[in-house]
Amino acid sequence: MPPSEHHDRSAVTPALPVMRAGEVWTVGAVILNQRGQAFAQRRSSDRRLFPDTWDIVGGHVEPGESLLDALAREITEETGWRLRRVGAFLGVSTWTGDDGGGRRHEADWVVEVDGDLVHPALEWSKHSAYGWFGADELDRLKENRGPGEFLIHDLIAGVVRGAR
């Protein structure tokens, strides 16, 4: 079954970002558990882009793939969970990594997933740890980041504080 059949697009804000030719896009998912904590995974220390930092589930949009199809695919690849519902659209961030990959546009959503939230099937070659972050644990998301590099912290903090 194609990824597009695994999620409910009706919950998405009608105005999805427009991907233009030549642009590099990524997607991100803020996944909450029943206690309102957000899921994050630590990137392995040998990763070229943002090594040993906390990240949300997500990744690059493949050629010919829609943003929502990429979101569904990345969730399954990185956690083993299935996208159930796309919720609040959190906006688009534009950033440049330190890997030489150039400028990227990232579209992020709050999502609901199906699966065993206690035992994610992480890609252990790419990630070294995972955790659930509530309002009291948010500072951990700043580990190994410099001032002004708190995109993940700020994204999760906004969602977690709003979910309380």
- Structural contact between residues 6 and 73, judged by C-beta atoms closer than 8 angstroms: no
Q: Write down the pLDDT at residue 48.
A: 85
Q: Which has more pLDDT, 4 or 35?
A: 35
What DSSP designation does 17 have?
A: P
- Parallel/antiparallel/unpaired status of strands 24-31 and 103-114: parallel
Percent of the chain with pLDDT over 70: 87
Domain boundaries, the chain: 3-7+25-163
Element (H, E) at 152: helix 151-163
d(CA 42, CA 53): 5
pLDDT score of 38 more than 80: yes
Amino acid at 114: D
* Interval 99-144: pLDDT, tens: 667 788 999 999 999 999 999 999 999 999 999 999 999 999 999 8
Mean residue pLDDT of the chain comes to 87
Q: Write down the pLDDT at residue 2.
A: 41
Q: Write down the pLDDT at residue 95.
A: 82
Beginning with the edge strand found earlier in the chain, give each strand of the sheet holding 38-43 in spatial order.
Answer: 54-55, 38-43, 127-133
* Interval 71-96: pLDDT, tens: 999 999 999 999 999 999 999 999 88
Percent of the chain with pLDDT over 90: 70
Q: Write down the pLDDT at residue 86.
A: 94
pLDDT score of 6 more than 60: no
CA-only gyration radius of the chain, Å: 15
d(CA 73, CA 67): 10
* 3-class DSSP state of 6: helix
Which pLDDT band, with edges at 50, 70 and 90, does 9 fall under? very low
Please determine, looking at this structure, whether the domain spanning 3-7+25-163 carries the CATH number 1.10.1370.40. no
Q: Write down the pLDDT at residue 58.
A: 96
Q: What angle do CA 25, 100, 124 make, to 5 degrees?
A: 70
d(CA 101, CA 11): 32
Q: Write down the pLDDT at residue 15.
A: 60
Tokens coding 54: 């906390």
What DSSP designation does 25 have?
A: E
> DSSP H helical segments within 9-148, as ranges?
67-79
